[in-house]
């Protein structure tokens, strides 16, 4: 019978994540005044609480279930398991460790996986090669991109982890939501067979209700962000992404948004901006630099540039009807899943994306867009120029495009980002 340490060793990178988050939180707590980086302080407290509990559950022997961030963690609440977000671990270790997770990108690259696939998956793929993870099962939708679909078979073919796939259709319409709802139910039942548990859909309903409450808070918060100056600091964006993909369906996620909303309301009343003065309002319709999130703070303080929204936080789904029958429940879950950050933008035609961007530019009084084109997101390669023209024609604002690797600083460095944005901002003044 394996002991607690051996059980805990099935998720060594999660322990690394816990340590790096604890150290960062301690630094913030000891060095910065209360007003310094509150979203990072609050976010770390809430995510740390969940990660600590998950590590304890792993030590007790509960099954380890890896999931793609496009599979909503609250749906896994029907099991007693340790849910590990594969992309979240790669990116947030990349953000918090001084040397990032480049070692693991190189390990999987040397093994033969193409360098131009997504660093969100390459980190955990490299860690799995080193046996730092031992998953009992992995679950993923066939979304949001080719890179995902081409990378996940590694876990099945090379590592022999049971891989459960929910087939997500391309079209976003009624019959697709019905179909994907059935896929969600089937895939959860299949996962249950693999880990030897019956899915408890009543327990999952409670998590969905909690997330309905989170959605209401998010709507209030995003209304406040429309104000000038924005009452939320840029660091909120990567931290809210972490909350969405790691702790959805937990009371900690609700607490995170309650605390952030309180903070935003106070700043809104006092017309306060975190960086002192807001000079430029930007929207990043794709991703931030997860290899170094300090860029967020630098933009606030050095350039007075607010990041109003990024890809992980401008999709607000309808509330899920949890009171009706099971078909209605899974229909709502499917609709939410297909409107999930990055899934919505990447898994349908680009017209809705352009429409959303134009609407957001107007609603949030944006001065510019900054479009980060990641080397791995090939499904989006043709969109930036179309968006740039649409924003110019419909709203009269410019867009800067920066090519990069979202998790690997070796492609476009932080310095290159700062130089490009500084020059771009000069053209706006």
- Among the listed ranges 168-176, 181-189, 292-300, 369-377, the one in contact with ligand SF4 (CB under 6 A) is 369-377
Q: Between 140 and 250, whose beta carbon lies closer to ligand SF4?
A: 140
Alpha-carbon separation of residue 270 from 56, 265, 318 (angstroms): 42, 9, 31
- The DSSP secondary-structure symbol of 77 reads G
CA atoms within 13 A on the CB side of 402: 26
Q: Between 65 and 377, whose beta carbon lies closer to ligand SF4?
A: 377
Residue 120, token pair as written in the block = 């969100």
Among 40, 82, 84, 118, binds ligand SF4 (CB under 6 A): 118
Q: Between 58 and 293, whose beta carbon lies closer to ligand SF4?
A: 293
- Among the listed ranges 11-19, 44-52, 145-153, 290-298, the one in contact with ligand SF4 (CB under 6 A) is 145-153
Q: Between 144 and 192, whose beta carbon lies closer to ligand SF4?
A: 144
Round to whole Å and give the CA distance between 84 and 64: 7
- The DSSP secondary-structure symbol of 69 reads T
Count, residues near ligand SF4 per rule CB under 6 A? 12
Full DSSP string of 120-179: HHHHHHHHHHTT-B--SEEEEES-S-HHHHHHTHHHHHTT---EEEE---SS-SHHHHHH
The answer to whether 376 contacts ligand SF4 (rule: CB under 6 A) is yes
Nearest-approach distance from CB 118 to ligand SF4, in angstroms = 3
- Among the listed ranges 5-13, 124-132, 140-148, 270-278, the one in contact with ligand SF4 (CB under 6 A) is 140-148
- Among the listed ranges 90-98, 211-219, 331-339, 370-378, the one in contact with ligand SF4 (CB under 6 A) is 370-378
Round to whole Å and give the CA distance between 235 and 419: 20
The answer to whether 147 contacts ligand SF4 (rule: CB under 6 A) is yes
Q: Between 257 and 404, whose beta carbon lies closer to ligand SF4?
A: 404
Q: Are strands 368-374 and 399-404 parallel, antiparallel or unpaired?
A: parallel
The answer to whether 148 contacts ligand SF4 (rule: CB under 6 A) is yes
- Among the listed ranges 125-133, 224-232, 374-382, 395-403, the one in contact with ligand SF4 (CB under 6 A) is 374-382
The answer to whether 145 contacts ligand SF4 (rule: CB under 6 A) is yes
Q: Between 276 and 381, whose beta carbon lies closer to ligand SF4?
A: 381
The answer to whether 377 contacts ligand SF4 (rule: CB under 6 A) is yes
The answer to whether 374 contacts ligand SF4 (rule: CB under 6 A) is yes
Contact 219, 313 (CB under 8 A): no
Q: Between 145 and 208, whose beta carbon lies closer to ligand SF4?
A: 145
CA atoms within 13 A on the CB side of 58: 27
Full DSSP string of 239-301: HHHHHHHHHTTSHHHHHHHHHHHHHHHHHHHHT--TTSS--EEEE-SS---TT-THHHHHIII
The answer to whether 108 contacts ligand SF4 (rule: CB under 6 A) is no
Full DSSP string of 96-122: HSTTTTHHHHHHHHHHT--TTS-HHHH
Q: Between 152 and 364, whose beta carbon lies closer to ligand SF4?
A: 152
Q: Between 340 and 364, whose beta carbon lies closer to ligand SF4?
A: 340
Q: Is the dihedral of CA 409, 415, 419, 424 positive or negative?
A: positive
Q: Is the dihedral of CA 176, 181, 186, 187 positive or negative?
A: positive
Nearest-approach distance from CB 289 to ligand SF4, in angstroms = 12
The answer to whether 338 contacts ligand SF4 (rule: CB under 6 A) is no
Nearest-approach distance from CB 274 to ligand SF4, in angstroms = 27
Nearest-approach distance from CB 50 to ligand SF4, in angstroms = 22
Q: Report how far Cα 206 is from the mean position of its chain's Cα atoms.
A: 22
Among 11, 47, 107, 120, binds ligand SF4 (CB under 6 A): 120
Q: Between 144 and 339, whose beta carbon lies closer to ligand SF4?
A: 144
Q: Between 133 and 286, whose beta carbon lies closer to ligand SF4?
A: 286
The answer to whether 346 contacts ligand SF4 (rule: CB under 6 A) is yes
Reported as type and span, the H/E element at residue 363 is helix 351-363
Q: Report how far Cα 166 is from the mean position of its chain's Cα atoms.
A: 19
Nearest-approach distance from CB 428 to ligand SF4, in angstroms = 27
3-class state of residue 341 by DSSP:
coil
What is the binding site for ligand SF4 (CB under 6 A)?
Answer: 118, 120, 144-145, 147-148, 342, 346, 374, 376-377, 406
């Amino acid at each position: 019978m394996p002991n607690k340490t051996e059980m805990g060793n099935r998720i060594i990178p999660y322990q690394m994540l816990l340590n790096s988050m604890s150290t960062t939180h301690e630094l913030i707590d000891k060095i910065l005044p209360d007003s310094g980086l509150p979203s990072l302080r609050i976010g770390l407290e809430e995510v740390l609480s969940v990660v600590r509990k998950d590590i304890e559950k792993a030590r007790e022997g509960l099954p380890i279930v890896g999931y793609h961030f496009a599979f909503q963690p609250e749906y896994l609440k029907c099991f007693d398991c340790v849910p590990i977000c594969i992309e979240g671990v790669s990116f947030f270790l990349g953000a918090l460790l001084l040397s990032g997770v480049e070692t693991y990108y190189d390990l999987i690259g040397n093994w033969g996986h193409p360098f131009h696939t997504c660093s969100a998956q390459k980190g955990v793929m490299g860690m799995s090669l080193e046996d730092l993870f031992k998953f009992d099962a992995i679950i993923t939708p066939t979304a949001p991109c080719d890179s995902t679909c081409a990378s996940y078979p590694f876990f099945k073919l090379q590592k022999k982890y049971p891989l459960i796939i929910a087939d997500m259709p391309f079209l976003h319409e009624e019959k697709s939501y019905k179909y994907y709802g059935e896929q969600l139910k089937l895939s959860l039942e299949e996962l249950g067979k693999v880990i030897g548990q019956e899915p408890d859909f009543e327990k999952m309903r409670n998590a969905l209700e909690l997330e309905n409450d989170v959605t209401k808070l998010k709507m209030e918060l995003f209304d406040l962000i429309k104000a000038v100056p924005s009452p939320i600091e840029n660091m909120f964006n990567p931290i809210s992404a972490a909350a969405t993909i790691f702790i959805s369906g937990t009371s900690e996620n609700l607490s995170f948004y309650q605390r952030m909303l309180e903070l935003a309301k106070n700043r809104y009343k006092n017309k306060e901006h975190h960086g002192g003065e807001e000079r430029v309002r930007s929207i990043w319709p794709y991703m931030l630099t997860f290899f170094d999130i300090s860029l967020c703070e630098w933009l606030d303080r050095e350039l007075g540039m607010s990041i109003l929204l990024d890809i992980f936080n401008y999709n607000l789904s309808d509330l899920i009807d949890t009171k009706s029958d099971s078909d209605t429940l899974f229909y709502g879950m499917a609709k939410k899943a297909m409107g999930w950050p990055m899934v919505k933008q990447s898994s349908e035609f680009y017209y809705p994306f352009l429409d959303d961007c134009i609407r957001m530019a107007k609603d949030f009084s944006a001065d510019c867009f900054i479009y980060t084109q990641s080397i791995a997101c090939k499904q989006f390669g043709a969109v930036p120029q179309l968006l740039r023209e649409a924003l110019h024609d419909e709203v009269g604002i410019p867009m800067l495009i920066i090519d990069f690797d979202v998790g690997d600083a070796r492609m476009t460095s932080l310095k290159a980002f700062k130089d490009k944005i500084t020059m771009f901002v000069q053209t706006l003044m």
